[in-house]
């Protein structure tokens, strides 16, 4: 029974997606209604996930699935974040598509399919399952990115993402094949046992692990596989960008952490590699972000930096007693801040996303003080200023890094966050210290703004009551 309950959220979302897909065939339903439906399903799944909770690690349906799926506190938290992201994305999409009219019913269905893939990915304990989940997720995201077919940047974005994503998928398959050849299994646990019994220094295992790491690093936009992220985030519709930046990253980091934590030997073998990747990701991301003039591009680049912080946490995870609490907490904090700012951009952006650059937001605080205050809170959270969630997230990550003996990495992380102050403060300065040049009138539904303010509360709530799993 508990097995069934723990995958119930996944089933709910899947059922909702199929339902919406069927409904869209009749062409009777309004797009707004579809967004309410998907909100309802995301909300229901969120509460089920919360109520079911999850005790210790459980193999779900061990006979039927042969240990392919496992739930733990960590997957539960990752699932909650993904479901929450889905809910708030549907909320901001509702407002966004009131003024940008290219949405059809399938949008929400595909988004929910994507969420299914993500939920599956967090639970995956085996490479083939992970690959299938990864592809379900990626295919949905490809479609969402290119949803506005008439838009050139959007088309460019999907082309870039699809080509490179396909390569990453191919790398992942290749890595799976090589690891299977080396270790004789695709299950994380059995790979781990094989490596600790023998040695990881087999050519097949080294190459396999390398390919799989490349695929993961591509999906989280880590250096040197980060170049796509700026253009893709820029080309996608704002709510989709928010969804990609948060839910997708959560799912991939969850499976990444599971993969590394269960293979202690593998983790220690690749730790130097991950160390340099983390450092270069942070500093590379900062350099890109400092030069941007468009908000979405800046946020995309700051997403790279946050991937770098999460990589610090990955370097610091200990295989012996892995709980994923630091990563889970940071992902939640990051998701609340990022989703919030994208929700705000969804309704402030206006028709055709006409307000997109820093200069377009000059003097926002004079005209719409509450929106400007909300954006400020999100930016401060991303910058890691107390008492927001981002501060506690950064605190945990630095603590875990220093505890793991990675003091140099912790200091470099701090230096990187000093650099990142530049572009976060820049937006605050633009909003507050300049005179308003326009009236920032927005039409459409108030749902996105409601979502924005709910997320402000989330940012403070997560920050002040840091519940560690």
The binding site for other proteins (CB under 8 A) comprises 373, 380, 384-387, 391-392, 394-395, 398-399, 402-403, 407, 410-411, 414, 417-418, 421-422, 425, 429, 432-433, 466, 468
**CB-wise, 69 or 392, nearer to other proteins?**
392
**CB 440 → other proteins: shortest distance, Å?**
18
b/e 186-209 (16+ beta carbons within 10 angstroms → b): bbbebbbbbbeeeebebeebbbbb
Q: Output phi, psi for 58, to 5 deg.
A: -130, 135
**CB-wise, 291 or 387, nearer to other proteins?**
387
**CB 464 → other proteins: shortest distance, Å?**
9
Element holding 71 (H helix, E strand): strand 70-71
**CB-wise, 245 or 392, nearer to other proteins?**
392
How far is Cα of residue 327 from the mean position of the Cα atoms in its chain?
A: 12
Sign of the CA dihedral running 253, 256, 261, 264: negative
Per the structure block, which two tokens stand in for 396? 């945990």
**CB-wise, 134 or 398, nearer to other proteins?**
398
The answer to whether 238 touches 349, Cβ cutoff 8 Å, is yes
Q: What is the largest CA-CA distance in the chain?
A: 67
**CB 398 → other proteins: shortest distance, Å?**
5
**CB 75 → other proteins: shortest distance, Å?**
20
**CB-wise, 142 or 396, nearer to other proteins?**
396
Question: Which one, of 217, 135, 126, lies nearest residue 180 by Cα?
Answer: 126
Instruction: Please state, in angstroms and rounded to a whole number, the distance separating the CA atoms of residues 274 and 217.
Output: 10
What single string gives the DSSP state of each residue in 430-444?
A: HHHSS---S-----S
**CB-wise, 56 or 152, nearer to other proteins?**
56
Instruction: Please state, in angstroms and rounded to a whole number, the distance separating the CA atoms of residues 191 and 204.
Output: 12
**CB-wise, 204 or 373, nearer to other proteins?**
373
Per the structure block, which two tokens stand in for 169? 């998928």
**CB 365 → other proteins: shortest distance, Å?**
8
**CB 232 → other proteins: shortest distance, Å?**
30
**If DSSP codes are grouped into helix, strand and coil, which group holds residue 317?**
coil
**CB 74 → other proteins: shortest distance, Å?**
15
């Amino acid at each position: 029974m508990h097995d069934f309950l723990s995958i119930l959220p996944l089933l709910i979302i899947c059922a909702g997606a199929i339902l919406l897909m069927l409904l869209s065939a009749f062409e009777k339903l309004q797009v707004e209604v579809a967004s309410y439906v998907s909100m309802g399903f995301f909300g229901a799944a969120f509460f089920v996930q919360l109520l079911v909770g999850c005790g210790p690690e459980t193999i779900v349906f061990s006979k039927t699935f042969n240990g392919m799926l496992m739930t733990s506190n960590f997957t539960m938290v990752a699932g909650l974040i993904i479901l929450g992201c889905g809910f708030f994305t549907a909320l901001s999409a509702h407002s966004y598509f009131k003024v940008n009219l290219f949405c059809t019913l399938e949008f929400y269905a595909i988004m929910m399919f994507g969420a299914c893939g993500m939920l599956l990915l967090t639970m995956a304990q085996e490479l083939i399952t992970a690959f299938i989940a990864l592809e379900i997720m990626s295919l949905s995201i490809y479609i969402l990115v290119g949803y506005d077919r008439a838009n050139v940047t959007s088309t460019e974005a999907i082309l870039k993402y699809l080509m490179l994503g396909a390569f990453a998928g191919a790398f992942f398959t290749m890595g799976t094949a090589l690891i299977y050849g080396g270790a004789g299994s695709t299950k994380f646990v059995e790979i781990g046992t094989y490596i600790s019994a023998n040695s990881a220094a087999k050519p097949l295992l080294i190459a396999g692990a390398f390919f799989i790491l490349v695929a993961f690093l591509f999906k989280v936009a880590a250096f040197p596989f980060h170049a796509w992220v700026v253009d893709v985030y820029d080309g996608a519709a704002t709510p989709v960008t928010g969804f990609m930046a948060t839910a997708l990253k959560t799912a991939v980091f969850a499976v990444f952490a599971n993969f590394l934590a269960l293979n202690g030997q593998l983790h220690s073998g690749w730790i130097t590699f991950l160390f340099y990747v983390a450092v270069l990701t942070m500093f590379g991301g900062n350099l890109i972000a400092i030069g941007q003039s468009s908000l979405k591009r800046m946020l995309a680049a700051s997403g790279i930096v946050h991937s770098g912080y999460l990589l610090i946490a990955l370097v610091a995870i200990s295989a012996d007693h892995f709980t994923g609490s630091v990563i889970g907490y940071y992902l939640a904090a990051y998701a609340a801040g990022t989703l919030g700012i994208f929700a705000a951009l969804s309704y402030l952006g206006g028709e055709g996303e006409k307000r997109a650059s820093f200069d377009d937001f000059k003097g926002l605080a004079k005209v719409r003080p509450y929106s400007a205050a909300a954006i400020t809170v999100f930016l401060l959270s991303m910058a890691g200023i107390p008492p927001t969630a981002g501060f506690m997230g950064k605190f945990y990550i630095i603590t875990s890094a220093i505890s793991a003996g990675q003091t140099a990495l912790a200091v470099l992380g701090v230096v990187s966050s000093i650099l990142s102050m530049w572009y976060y403060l820049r937006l605050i300065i633009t909003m507050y210290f300049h005179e308003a040049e326009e009236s920032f009138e927005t039409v459409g539904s108030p749902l996105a703004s409601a979502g924005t303010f709910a997320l402000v509360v989330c940012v403070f709530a997560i920050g002040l009551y840091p519940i560690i799993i």
